[in-house]
C-alpha cells in the first residue's frame, strides 16, 4: 500500500520534457522557438531539451497561454558540460503574457537544456502552456 502511494506521488510530481530536434532557422536577433510544455497542477517543474547540433543563444524568454503561472527558478545547461547556470527568478506571467528577457552568461552558450520551476495559478484555470524562445 505504501509503495503504491509513493509511486502515485512520484508520478504526480515527475517532470515532463519536450525535446526539440533543432531550433528553427532565422536571422540573428530574432526569436526562435525552442519548445513548448504543458505546465500541470500536479507538477512543479519541466524541462526543454535541445538536441544537437546545438546553437549559441544570448537570451531566452517564456510565453504562457491558457493559464497564468509564477516562475521561480531556471537551470540552464550548456553543451560544454560546465556547471549549469542557475537563475533565480520570481515573476508572475499572466495568461497570454511573456516573461522578461533573460540574458544568458557569456562564453559558450550552446544550449543543451532549460529546466524551470513554477507554480500554476488557480486550479480552475487549467494547465498553462509554456513556450520557450531563444535569441542568437
Select the more confidently predicted residue: 27 or 68: 68
Q: What global pTM score does this model have? A: 0.78
Q: How far apart are CA 109 and CA 73, in angstroms?
A: 18
- pLDDT tops 90 at residue 25: no
Confidence of residue 4 (pLDDT cuts 50, 70, 90): very low
Task: Please name the residue that has the C-alpha cell 506521488.
Answer: 9
The predicted model gives 66-91 an average pLDDT of 91
Query: Which of these, 4, 40, 35, 60, lies nearest to 131 by C-alpha position?
Result: 35
- The architecture (CATH level 2) of 2-135 comes to Sandwich (2.60)
Asked if residue 10 lies in contact with residue 42, where contact means CB atoms within 8 angstroms, the answer is no
- pLDDT tops 90 at residue 102: yes
Amino acid at each position: 500500500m505504501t509503495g503504491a502511494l509513493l509511486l502515485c506521488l512520484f508520478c504526480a510530481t515527475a517532470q515532463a520534457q519536450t525535446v526539440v530536434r533543432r531550433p528553427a532557422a532565422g536571422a540573428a536577433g530574432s526569436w526562435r522557438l525552442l519548445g513548448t510544455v504543458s505546465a500541470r497542477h500536479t507538477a512543479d517543474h519541466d524541462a526543454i531539451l535541445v538536441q544537437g547540433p546545438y546553437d549559441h543563444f544570448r537570451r531566452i524568454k517564456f510565453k504562457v497561454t491558457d493559464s497564468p503561472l509564477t516562475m521561480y527558478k531556471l537551470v540552464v545547461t550548456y553543451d560544454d558540460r560546465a556547471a549549469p547556470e542557475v537563475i533565480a527568478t520570481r515573476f508572475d506571467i499572466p495568461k497570454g503574457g511573456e516573461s522578461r528577457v533573460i540574458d544568458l552568461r557569456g562564453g559558450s552558450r550552446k544550449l543543451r537544456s532549460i529546466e524551470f520551476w513554477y507554480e500554476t495559478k488557480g486550479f480552475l484555470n487549467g494547465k498553462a502552456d509554456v513556450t520557450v524562445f531563444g535569441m542568437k
